[in-house]
Amino acid sequence: MRDHLNELEHLARTAGADVTDRLTQSLNSPSPATFIGSGKVKELARLTKERDSDLVISDDELSPVQVKNIEKKIDCKLLDRTGLILDIFASRAQTRAAKTQVELAQLGYLRSRLTRRWTHLSRQEGGIGTKGPGEKQIEMDRRIIDKRMAKLREKLDEIDRQRTTQRKGREGYTTASLVGYTNAGKSTLLNALADEDLEAEDRLFATLDATTRTVELDSNKEVLMSDTVGFIRKLPHRLIESFRSTLDEVRESDVLIHVVDVTHPNYEEQMRVVAETLGELEARDKPTLVVFNKIDAMEDRTLLRRLRRNHPDAVFASALRGIGLETLKEDLLDLIEQDYVERVAYIPVSEPEVIAQVHRLGDVIEESYEYAENGGLESLNGEVEGAQAVARIHFRAAPRNDARLQEALDPRGALRPAETEEPVLNA
């Protein structure tokens, strides 16, 4: 409970609030009317009056009725965790995509809460013939919100199409996404690996848009690495839905790099939250490299030794100090290549565009050009007669690229597994 309230206080300060007090209560089940008990509501009202507070924040999401009932008692604005996170996202949004995504999430949150926002209009009890102008205003406002949300969804669909087109332009590149709890150091790590100077601040949700950079893993291997929005406990579903085009970077990546702030006292729960969120994104089963970041700030060396023992495949690094980055690159390359498929392609030299496709989608190990009798090979137009010049290309490819090459070459008998290759060339 204390850790959860610490995080809520950090969120509140991030939004610009000055925190004066905390209240907790243990209940078998929340009150349908006020979430907390009636006695706690009275204590909250007394405390807000003494402190002259103008805002109360709940760590749990509240229903519109619960918010309305509590606000009547405490004479003060009440905001739940979802509303607070949405407010922070709104203040962080800079690009057209981020602003659109946040506005859509905010409107979805606001729509169900209109009933408490029109107190300046008269409303009567429900029933036939008793609907007052206040209810009419609410219905009108809902229609306005629905129309605005429809337009925002159209904008997001357009943004999604643009990003899909951009991703198609990455054909042949291996892609990796940095994921992790907010403020784990993902942006700092991308800066260090890509030798860039992207915005990287010690604050929650500093990154809302996916940023992609090229990272060189060794002399002949590059990866496209994306920094993504940080996760957090109880991340509102509205945000996950609205940020679907941004989070597609995670779903479409070949591998994930899970960055963990090892100095956080509750890092294990943060790791669980990230795993659960990846499950919601249908990305939990992707090959993942765990990076325990900020080891330079660790005071408990016993914890560090225990982590190394319990997570032998993890990387221990400091993005800020540049510690462990070479090991990270080596381990990432090993992870990327562990599922690579090795094959041999036989392609007539009269088809240079197909040869170029193999070079683009695979890592060529060896290439030679010889003459072959047909050997069961067929060209794209099926008009092969007698001997022909053939390129023999021995290559390795990621599963996704291998599938594309199989689709293009297997029907023509031009692709063989390297380990079962049978001689088909005649010198």
Token pair for 42: 């009275």
Is 206 annotated in a binding site? The answer is: yes
Q: Is 20 annotated as a binding residue?
A: no
Distance, in Å, from the CA atom of 381 to the CA atom of 387, rounded to the nearest integer, reads 16
Cα-to-chain-centroid distance, residue 133:
44
Angle at 335 between CA 333 and CA 336, to 5 degrees: 65
**In the chain, how long is the greatest CA-to-CA distance?**
96
121 annotated among ligand-binding-site residues:
no
Bridging pattern class, strands 55-58 and 77-80: parallel
186 is in an annotated binding site: yes
The structure tokens listed for 75 are: 């004479």
Cβ(111)–Cβ(142) below 8 Å = yes
Instruction: Say if residue 183 carries a ligand binding annotation.
Output: yes
401 is in an annotated binding site: no
228 is in an annotated binding site: yes
Query: For residue 176, which of 311, 312, 283, 313 has the smallest C-alpha distance?
Result: 283
Strand partners, 255: 176
**CA separation, residue 382 to residues 264, 350, 385 (Å):** 63, 12, 9
Query: Is 136 assigned a ligand-binding role in the annotation?
Result: no
**83 appears as a binding residue in the annotation:** no
**296 annotated as ligand-binding:** yes
- The closest of 244, 256, 248 to 179, measured between CA atoms, is 256
Question: Of 402, 405, 347, 403, nearest to 380 (Cα)?
Answer: 347
What are the beta bridge partners of residue 222?
216
Cα angle: 159, vertex 160, 161; to 5 degrees? 90
Q: Is position 232 annotated in a ligand binding site?
A: no
15 is in an annotated binding site: no
| Rounded-to-integer distance, Cα 7 and Cα 267, Å | 12
3 state SS of 174: strand
Annotated binding residue 275: no
- The Cα angle at residue 150 between residues 144 and 151, in degrees rounded to 5: 95
**Is residue 230 marked as binding?**
yes
Question: Is 319 among the annotated ligand-binding positions?
Answer: yes
Phi and psi angles of residue 209, each rounded to the nearest 5 degrees, phi first: -100, 145
Q: Measure the CA–CA gap between 394 and 260, rounded to whole angstroms.
A: 39
Question: What token pair was written down for 357?
Answer: 């496709």
- The distance from CA 22 to its chain's CA centroid, rounded to whole angstroms, is 32
Return the SS3 of 71. Answer: helix
The DSSP secondary-structure symbol of 323 reads: B
Q: Residue 69 and residue 65: Cα distance in Å, rounded?
A: 6
Query: Which two three-digit tokens encode residue 314?
Result: 């993890």
Q: Please check if 37 is assigned to a binding site.
A: no
List binding-site positions for Mg(2+). 187, 207
List binding-site positions for GTP. 180-187, 205-209, 227-230, 293-296, 318-320
List binding-site positions. 180-187, 205-209, 227-230, 293-296, 318-320
